A and B are shown apart, each in its own frame.
Chain A
Amino acid sequence: MSAALQWLALGLCLMGTIWRIKATIQGRNPELFGAFGLATISVALSIPAIYLPIDNAFGADNYANLLLRICLFGVFFLLSGKIAAAFNSERSYRLIRGPLGIIVFAVSVVGVCVCFFLGNFDISSTGLRAYAHEEILLAYSAWGKLYLAYVSACLIPATLSAWLHSPNRLLKAAGALLSLGFALVFLTPLLELTLRSHSALATFTSFAAVVLVAAGLMTVWLSFLRRITKSNDPTKYTFS
């Protein structure tokens, strides 16, 4: 079941990447192409059938897992700035793309790398599951989620306020899904740290977070595609 979901997610990310090629060539939001590409790599590296051969090519020292973490940072870095701009939140944008955001990004990358090299992960294992009992893995995992949690925290006010206050139905719907998703991304590492293990609850919240954020973005994309095919804009006022 879980494996089927992972392959499904991989397929969706790959489709997203291919979908963005044309727009990227036209110079429209190349960040989205990057985000989809990095997400594809991240999802692929969480599937054993892909992870193990790739990791072996890197020397079977689990560098592929480090790559996965960095790619995930990249996805959030690229997407979050776009979402902040899309929801017209200057403050969120500054917090994410400004000096503070860059510092948190850099610190997270360094933190993840340090934990990775402190831990002795020398047997190739997808998701580092073979090391689940080791304390250092918990730290590694927490550092790996710090940047995601930071970015999510920056985006919650903007998306939440769109959900609660925007008269625009599209913004309201996308804001609802995204703010709930980001709230879960923000809570997952806290949950993991307090429960001190990879509990089923944490697994569920991170899965739910991905689904919610993806659904929020899909809402925007579907409305965008419909806008092109349908000439009459639903938000347009018509004289009576």
Chain B
Amino acid sequence: MSLSTITAVSRSLGRPVVDTLSAFPQYQGLSGGMQVPTDAELLSQIADMDLLAELQRRHESFNEADNLAREYSLNMEQRTLTAFPHSESVRLWLDAIDNGELRSKLAKDAAIAPQNLSAQISANRLSAELAIAAARIAGVGLANGLVVAGHLTPREAYWQDDARELALSRISTSCLASVAANRLEILSRTLRKSEDEQRSSRQLWEHLG
């Protein structure tokens, strides 16, 4: 039975989805392997622009005289982050939990071609089996991959509602800057690719339209 069927039935019955899944042989041990997401995982699920906005907010507050008080109020302030999973959720989550060779190990364990895995990641997809296997290899909560790949909602995997906001408030500004720099690098690659694609479409239309 497919994961989407099980989750749909479980949701309609109002049962905890993770528990229902654990009753099936292929998802055995799922409920036992639940862990709170790490800060790295949480940060990976914050959209680029939210990270940049946070950086800007801190920058502004640092320019103020009463640093400490400002910082304190900043932490207490209600941050509203864009809902996730976002358009690079799968790739960034894998990067966040990767402690070396994750992708090659994952492809080997699941007996799929590395290109097949890359294709899924590029499309921001990850099958339930791979999501669980990746979490198992990396030693993080087993349901976390199901959340970032969109199979489960964060609540169904017992992620705290403001978990990402709290992780963001904990991260040092220097770390934040380096995470944001990495995101901008990825963003510029994505943008370049889509600009190239647009240019070739335009060229096609210009000559044949």
Residues of A at under 8 Å CB distance from B? 28-29, 32, 82-83, 85-88, 166-168, 170-171, 174, 217, 220-221, 223-224, 227, 233, 235-240
A235 & B209 in contact (Cβ 8 Å cutoff): no
B194 & A83 in contact (Cβ 8 Å cutoff): no
B99 at the interface (CB under 8 A from A): no
B150-209 contacts to A (CB < 8 Å):
190-191, 193-194, 196-198, 200-201, 203-209
B87 at the interface (CB under 8 A from A): yes
* Among candidates A167, A170, A220, residue contacting B193 with C-beta atoms closer than 8 Å: A167
B198 & A224 in contact (Cβ 8 Å cutoff): no
A224 & B209 in contact (Cβ 8 Å cutoff): yes
Count the B residues whose beta carbon is within 8 Å of the partner chain — how many?
23
Tell me the complex Cα distance, A239–B82, Å: 11
Shortest B202–chain A CB gap in Å is: 9
B86 & A240 in contact (Cβ 8 Å cutoff): yes
B135 at the interface (CB under 8 A from A): no
Tell me the complex Cα distance, A139–B207, Å: 35
Tell me the complex Cα distance, A85–B208, Å: 9
B208 & A237 in contact (Cβ 8 Å cutoff): no
With contact pairs A171-B200, A235-B197 given, residues A224 and B82 touching in the complex (Cβ less than 8 Å): no
Tell me the complex Cα distance, A235–B205, Å: 14
With contact pairs A237-B190, A240-B86 given, residues A83 and B197 touching in the complex (Cβ less than 8 Å): no
B198 & A236 in contact (Cβ 8 Å cutoff): yes
Contacts of B198 in A (CB 8 A): 233, 235-236
Contacts of B49 in A (CB 8 A): 239-240
What are 23 sample pairs from A and B whose C-beta atoms fall under 8 A apart? A32-B208, A82-B208, A83-B207, A85-B203, A86-B203, A86-B207, A87-B203, A167-B196, A168-B197, A170-B201, A170-B204, A220-B205, A220-B209, A223-B204, A223-B205, A227-B205, A233-B198, A235-B194, A236-B194, A236-B198, A237-B190, A240-B47, A240-B86
Tell me the complex Cα distance, A28–B205, Å: 11
B190 & A235 in contact (Cβ 8 Å cutoff): no
Tell me the complex Cα distance, A151–B171, Å: 62
Contacts of B48 in A (CB 8 A): 239-240
Tell me the complex Cα distance, A223–B200, Å: 13
B35-89 contacts to A (CB < 8 Å):
47-49, 82, 86-88
Contacts of B203 in A (CB 8 A): 85-88
A168 & B208 in contact (Cβ 8 Å cutoff): no
Contacts of A166 in B (CB 8 A): 200
Given A83-B207, A85-B207, A240-B82; 19 other pairs, CB 8 A cutoff: A29-B209, A85-B203, A88-B203, A166-B200, A168-B200, A170-B204, A171-B200, A174-B204, A220-B205, A223-B204, A223-B205, A224-B208, A227-B201, A227-B205, A235-B198, A237-B190, A237-B194, A239-B48, A240-B87
Contacts of A29 in B (CB 8 A): 207-209
A82 & B197 in contact (Cβ 8 Å cutoff): no
A240 & B201 in contact (Cβ 8 Å cutoff): no
With contact pairs A167-B196, A237-B194 given, residues A217 and B208 touching in the complex (Cβ less than 8 Å): yes
B204 & A220 in contact (Cβ 8 Å cutoff): yes
Tell me the complex Cα distance, A236–B198, Å: 7
Tell me the complex Cα distance, A240–B85, Å: 10
Tell me the complex Cα distance, A227–B202, Å: 10
